[in-house]
């Protein structure tokens, strides 16, 4: 018997308009496909998080943290749990320059809320004359999601500048401060649990010429437009194997343009899957599995998905 149904009803009674019962996950994911969650809660305060914790913790009701959905695939059958999304109140970005400039004139701290969009953070840090996060302009996700998967690109990643994060555990409470070292960040990985929600992240950045940072951002945007597809996708589907490229292996296996139902391997970049408007999440999952099988047979390499796939094994 589902635990999420009663929990969803209780949350709706307690939190009112912040809760949507039977919420479609498709509009919340960049694939734009997938089923519903028992409930979606849009959070604007720690008190709301505590209310969610009080409902879900005792029975360990499944929870799902949703940011921009740029790395998320929810099955057509949906997610039998409570989806939680930080609201705009957690999207603030601020710069804290050292009070004693004689200590280190070149460093500053940037604080970004968990729902802050990574491209926005990249542009705001550049405008403030700080370097280190320009690469994030090409990641269509939130800071919270970026920390969870140690997002990266163009030779850098979250771990390179992260100091610490404020985390709320929906099963055990919080907020608590977790240092970058404690997160055990590695390639597209952190040790954050499914019940952990990143409320804020603190970064150490270096001073720079704002115009140089803006120029670098423009170059990254141009490169991504030239080399990566738009449309309904979730970015890179697979992590790159050591000393190789997942896109190269998929292309070499002859899978560019390969289609299963409403999902297709991009003809522009083989490590992207495009979902048709009104398409099926299950088709995307089937195509991911097909790619894995063909590449393994062709090259002996087991590709590991970056995408979080939810609800397929319920």
Going by C-alpha positions, the residue among 27, 10, 29, 26 that lies closest to residue 18 is: 10
Of 285, 291, 288, nearest in space to 73 by CA: 285
Q: How far apart are alpha carbons 142 and 68 in whole angstroms?
A: 6
Catalytic residue (choose from 68, 188, 202, 224): 188
The DSSP output letter for 235 is S
Look up residue 8 and give its two tokens.
């969803």
**How far is residue 115's CA from residue 172's CA, in Å, rounded to a whole number?**
21
* Annotation marks residue 134 as catalytic: no
SS (H, E, C) 152-178: EECCEEHHHCEEEEEEEECCCEEEEEE
Do the beta carbons of residue 179 and residue 129 sit within 8 Å? no
What the block records as the tokens of 130 is 């700080």
DSSP string, 68-125: S-TTEEE-TT-EEEEEEEE-GGG--EEEE--S-TTT-TTEEEEEEETTSBHHHHHHHH
**Does residue 176 have an active-site annotation?**
no
Q: How far apart are CA 132 and CA 154, in angstroms?
A: 11
Residue 37 main-chain phi, psi, to 5 deg: -105, 155
Q: Which of 115, 148, 306, 308 is catalytic?
A: 306
Residues 6+ apart with CB under 8 A from 162: 147, 180, 183, 185, 201, 202, 203
User: Is 222 considered catalytic here?
Assistant: no
The Cα 80–Cα 3 span in angstroms is 8
> Of these residues, 115, 125, 166, 236, which one is catalytic?
236
Q: Any long-range contacts for 243-248 (C-beta under 8 Å, 24+ apart)?
A: 244/301, 245/271, 246/270, 246/271, 246/303, 247/271
**Active centre residues (catalytic):** 188, 236, 306
């Amino acid at each position: 018997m589902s635990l999420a149904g009663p929990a969803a009803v209780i949350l709706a009674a307690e939190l009112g308009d912040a809760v949507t019962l039977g919420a479609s996950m498709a509009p919340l994911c960049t694939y734009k496909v997938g089923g519903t969650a028992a409930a979606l809660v849009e959070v604007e305060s720690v008190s709301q998080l505590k209310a969610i914790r009080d409902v879900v913790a005792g029975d360990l009701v499944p929870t799902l943290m949703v940011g921009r959905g740029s790395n998320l695939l929810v099955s057509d059958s949906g997610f039998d749990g409570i989806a939680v999304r930080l609201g705009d109140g957690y999207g603030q970005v601020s710069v804290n320059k050292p009070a004693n400039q004689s200590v280190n004139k070149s460093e500053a701290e940037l604080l970004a809320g968990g729902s802050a969009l990574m491209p926005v953070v990249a542009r705001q840090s550049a405008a403030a004359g700080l370097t280190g996060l320009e690469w994030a302009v090409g990641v269509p996700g939130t800071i919270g999601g970026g920390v969870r998967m140690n997002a990266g690109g163009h030779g850098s990643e979250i771990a390179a500048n992260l100091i610490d994060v404020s985390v709320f555990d929906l099963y055990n409470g919080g907020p608590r401060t977790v240092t970058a070292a404690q997160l055990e960040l590695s390639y597209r990985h952190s040790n954050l649990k499914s019940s952990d929600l990143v409320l804020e992240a603190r970064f150490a950045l270096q001073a720079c010429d704002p115009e140089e940072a803006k120029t670098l951002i423009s170059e990254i945007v141009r490169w991504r437009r030239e080399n990566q597809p738009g449309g309904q996708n979730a970015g890179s589907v697979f992590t790159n194997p050591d000393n190789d490229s997942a896109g190269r292996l998929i292309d070499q296996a002859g899978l560019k343009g390969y289609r299963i139902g409403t999902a297709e391997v991009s003809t522009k970049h083989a490590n992207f899957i495009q979902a048709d408007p009104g398409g099926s999440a299950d088709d995307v999952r089937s195509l991911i599995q097909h790619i894995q099988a063909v590449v393994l047979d062709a090259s002996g390499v087991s590709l590991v998905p970056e995408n979080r796939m939810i609800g397929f094994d319920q």
